[in-house]
């Protein structure tokens, strides 16, 4: 049933006229070491302009249908050394592949620009191994994690331009993108990076996020957009207020994924179990699927084995607190390795007891949940 959902999402995307003919991917205006903004649209984008004002409360706002529950996501580490082999050696993760509904790429992995933390895992490599075509054939929906509101794009307009380039690039090479995951727009509106910041209030970040979502929905009505935010950087109260601020700006996320810093939870002694239950109930009441990212404590991610064992500890903790979340997200960004790339963990194979791979983690983690 889940795989049929992914196929339906892909089919819905493929019925859109823009898939038949898309312009080429253009170069990024500014390359960043973290999240590349992508190129601006052909029309001039005025990032100094004030954010689009919120919609009047009495204006009917079409919102995307939330994704259903019981979905498994997989996002390999951007620089993992055997990333391409996921597509050239599919027999080495047949069990995990059968359970994965959504495959999420990082922005850096699907644009044509060099990426120091990605190794060779950039757009050209994925075109060469026919990654997008294979995911479509396997019935796995493609998602990309994108910057909606960042210090380099405070109004949501540049985030839209970058996302559009990525969508077009994937479409031009046999794929389709029915799902976008926003990379922490609440944090992005506040964060200071390289001396730059938007300095947004929560309301301003919500308005800018609404601009991004509105632009995506207008040009790609088949695409649903969800949100990722960090905990305990933001408290349960903060995250609830943020979701309500988005609603006031006309945005209902298609899903909400929680990025938990398990080391900070440990050091600061947060009652994470209680907070997970609270958030799960809140998002359930609002009809938004609640997902949790399963990744390693960053202090224990110096090897694939350390990553595996730490992530399984987190799986156990979540299961004890709330059982299986609506969306189970196996995702890594741990690094860097001595090479400078973010490599841990290795992805394959899934069935070697001596190899602590990401696909083995999917199988064992799902069995535990």
pLDDT, tens digit, 9 for 90 and up, residues 202-238: 999 999 999 999 999 999 999 999 999 999 999 999 9
Q: Indicate the average pLDDT of the chain.
A: 86
253 vs 4, more confident: 253
Residues for the chain: how many in total? 369
Task: Look at residue 24 and tell me whether its pLDDT is greater than 90.
Answer: no
The CA distance from 6 to 125, in Å, is 24
pLDDT of the residue at 26: 29
* Over residues 147-176, mean pLDDT: 97
* Over residues 19-44, mean pLDDT: 30
274 vs 68, more confident: 274
Q: What is the pTM of this model?
A: 0.86
Task: Look at residue 92 and tell me whether its pLDDT is greater than 90.
Answer: yes
Per-residue pLDDT of 346-360, as tens digits, reads 999 999 999 999 999
Written in H, E and C, the secondary structure of the chain is CHHHHHHHHHHHHHCCHHHCCCCCCCCCCCCCCCCCCCCCCCCCCCCCCCCCCCCCCCCCCCCCCCCCCCEEEEECCCCCCCCCHHHHCHHHHHHHHHHCCEEEEEHHHHCCCCCCCCCCCCHHHHHHCCHHHHHHHHCCEEEEEECCCECCECCCHHHHHHHHHHHHHHHCCCCCCCEEEEECHHHHCCCCECCECCCCCHHHHHHHHHHHHHHHHHHCCCCEEEEEEEECCCCHHHHHHHHHHHHHCCCCCCCEEEEECHHHHHHHCCCHHHHHHHHHHHHHHCCCCEEEEECCCHHHCCCHHHHHHHHHHHHHHHHHHHCCCCEEEEECCCCCCCCCCCCCCCCCCCCCCCCCCHHHHHHHHHHHC
Task: Look at residue 260 and tell me whether its pLDDT is greater than 50.
Answer: yes
Q: Which of 57-61, 175-179, 216-220, 322-326 has the lowest mean pLDDT?
A: 57-61
Structure tokens, 204:
């301003």
| Domain 2-15+65-368, CATH number (from 3.20.20.60, 3.60.10.10, 3.40.50.300, 3.20.80.10) | 3.20.20.60
pLDDT of the residue at 44: 33
pLDDT of the residue at 53: 45
The CA distance from 172 to 162, in Å, is 16
User: From the CB of residue 350, how many other CB atoms can be counted at a distance below 10 Å?
Assistant: 21
37 vs 140, more confident: 140
pLDDT of the residue at 338: 85
Model confidence at 1, pLDDT cuts 50, 70, 90, reads: very low
Task: Look at residue 178 and tell me whether its pLDDT is greater than 70.
Answer: yes
Model confidence at 3, pLDDT cuts 50, 70, 90, reads: low
Model confidence at 68, pLDDT cuts 50, 70, 90, reads: confident
* Over residues 303-315, mean pLDDT: 98
Structure tokens, 27:
């170069």
Residue 19: phi, psi to the nearest 5?
A: -65, -30
Task: Look at residue 18 and tell me whether its pLDDT is greater than 70.
Answer: no
The CA distance from 299 to 306, in Å, is 9
* Over residues 261-275, mean pLDDT: 98
């Amino acid at each position: 049933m889940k795989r049929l959902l992914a196929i339906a999402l892909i089919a819905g995307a493929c019925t859109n006229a823009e898939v038949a003919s898309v312009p080429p991917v253009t170069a990024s205006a500014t390359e960043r070491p973290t999240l590349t903004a992508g190129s601006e649209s052909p029309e001039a984008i005025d990032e100094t302009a004030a954010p689009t004002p919120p919609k009047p409360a009495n204006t009917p706002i079409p919102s995307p249908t939330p994704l259903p529950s019981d979905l498994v996501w997989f996002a390999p580490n951007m620089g993992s050394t055997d990333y391409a082999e996921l597509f050239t050696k599919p027999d080495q993760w047949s069990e995990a592949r059968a359970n994965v509904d959504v495959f999420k790429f990082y922005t850096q992995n699907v644009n044509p620009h060099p990426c120091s933390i990605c190794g060779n895992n950039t757009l050209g490599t994925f075109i060469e191994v026919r990654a997008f075509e294979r995911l479509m054939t396997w019935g796995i929906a493609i998602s990309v994690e994108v910057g909606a509101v960042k210090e380099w794009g405070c109004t949501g307009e540049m985030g839209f331009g970058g996302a559009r380039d990525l969508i077009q690039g994937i479409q031009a090479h046999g794929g389709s993108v029915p799902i976008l995951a926003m990379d922490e727009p609440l944090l992005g509106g506040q964060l200071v990076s390289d001396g730059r910041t938007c300095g947004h209030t929560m309301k301003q970040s919500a308005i800018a996020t609404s601009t991004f979502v509105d632009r995506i929905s207008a040009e790609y009505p088949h695409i649903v957009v969800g949100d990722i935010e960090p905990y305990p950087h933001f408290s349960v109260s903060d995250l609830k207020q943020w979701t309500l601020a988005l609603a006031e700006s006309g945005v209902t996320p298609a899903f909400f994924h929680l990025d938990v810093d398990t080391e900070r939870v440990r050091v600061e002694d947060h009652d994470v179990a209680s907070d997970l239950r609270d958030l799960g109930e809140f998002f359930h009441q609002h009809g938004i699927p609640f997902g949790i990212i399963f990744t390693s404590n960053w202090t224990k991610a110096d090897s694939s084995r350390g990553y595996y064992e730490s992530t399984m500890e987190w799986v156990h903790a979540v299961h004890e607190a709330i059982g299986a979340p609506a969306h189970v997200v196996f995702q890594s960004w741990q690094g860097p390795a001595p090479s400078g790339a973010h490599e841990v963990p290795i992805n394959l194979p899934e069935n070697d007891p001596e190899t602590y791979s990401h696909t083995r983690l999917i199988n064992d983690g799902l069995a535990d949940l």
